[in-house]
Structure 1
Amino acid sequence: MPQAEPGGAVIVFDGVCVLCNGWVGFLLRHDRRARYRYAAMQSDTGRDLLASHGLDPDDPASFLLVEQDVGNSPRISTDSDAIRRVLAGLGGGWCAAHVIALVPRRVRDAAYRWLARNRYRWFGRNEACSVPAPEHRQRFL
């Protein structure tokens, strides 16, 4: 099973979701340290990561972040906590994303799940996972 490199992280995302692919594109542009690697939940790697962390690989509402700190076991985040940690992990002004934690998690996660349930209808869906640009290919598992 693939692991995040020490100090790095793996994001499992919905590879056919237009919104999710936009999110990954945003991260590729702003992740100057190349901290994040990506696995589409439709891939064997993405499915394995979801299942190994107790998430249903057939539930497209799942969003998983696996962070590997040096010398520690992986830190697992899902839903709104994962989004908050991903944004803060970009560094700089993005660390302000931690303010999201002031909203109770059940409220944040309910909003996340509402968006996740409606994302195909609102933003669309691709027929297949996108192929990353050559300069980003090594960041996809």
Structure 2
Amino acid sequence: MSDKKIILFDGVCNLCNGFVQFVIKRDKKDVFRYAALQSEIGQRLISERNIDTTKIDSVVLIEPGIAYYIKSNAALQIGRHIKGYRTISKVLKLIPSGLRNIVYDLIARYRYAWFGKKEACMIPTPELKAKFLD
């Protein structure tokens, strides 16, 4: 499992859940594993890295033993592993992260208003359960 990259996401956010579903469908090389930020393992992984969830509360990418990425850097790192999105990720990476994060933060701030919110975290189907960390 240590070779898998971990995507932590806001489990009650419709946009974040949609993003995870989007990645799962395109993760042909089985690169990623998933956990809700609100889950026990999500909280542990966040705590181990001293990530302030008052500032980062939507998507975090963890490459175990290497690094973690937040905000737009996380999204672009994820895109690098998805066929058809590698080039756009490389191009967007040319934009300074401060500018990218202005857009990212705007979307993150209004994601519940624009896309809605669930009452509880997504429960994966039996077929997808192996992709989610317990």
**TM-score, normalization by structure 1:** 0.86
Residue segments in structure 1 that go unaligned for 5+ positions in a row:
none
> In the alignment, what sits opposite 2:7?
11
Aligned residues between the structures:
132
Give, in whole Å, the separation in 1 of the partners of 2:94 and 2:112.
29
Give, in whole Å, the separation in 1 of the partners of 2:40 and 2:116.
23
Residue segments in structure 2 that go unaligned for 5+ positions in a row:
none
* 1:117 CA displacement: 0.6
> In the alignment, what sits opposite 1:47?
43
Task: Return the match for 1:121 from 113, 120, 130.
Answer: 113
SS at match of 2:6: strand
> In the alignment, what sits opposite 1:105?
97
Q: 1:106–1:40: structure 2 CA closer, same or farther, 3 Å change rule?
A: same
Give, in whole Å, the separation in 1 of the partners of 2:107 and 2:16.
11
* 1:76 CA displacement: 1.2
Give, in whole Å, the separation in 1 of the partners of 2:130 and 2:14.
21
One-letter amino acid of the structure 2 residue matched with residue 56 of structure 1? D
One-letter amino acid of the structure 1 residue matched with residue 109 of structure 2? R
Give, in whole Å, the separation in 2 of the partners of 1:67 and 1:125.
28
CA RMSD of aligned residues (A): 1.5
SS at match of 2:117: coil
* 1:32 CA displacement: 0.7
Give the % identical residues. 36
> In the alignment, what sits opposite 1:33?
29
SS at match of 1:5: coil
Moved over 6 A (4+): none
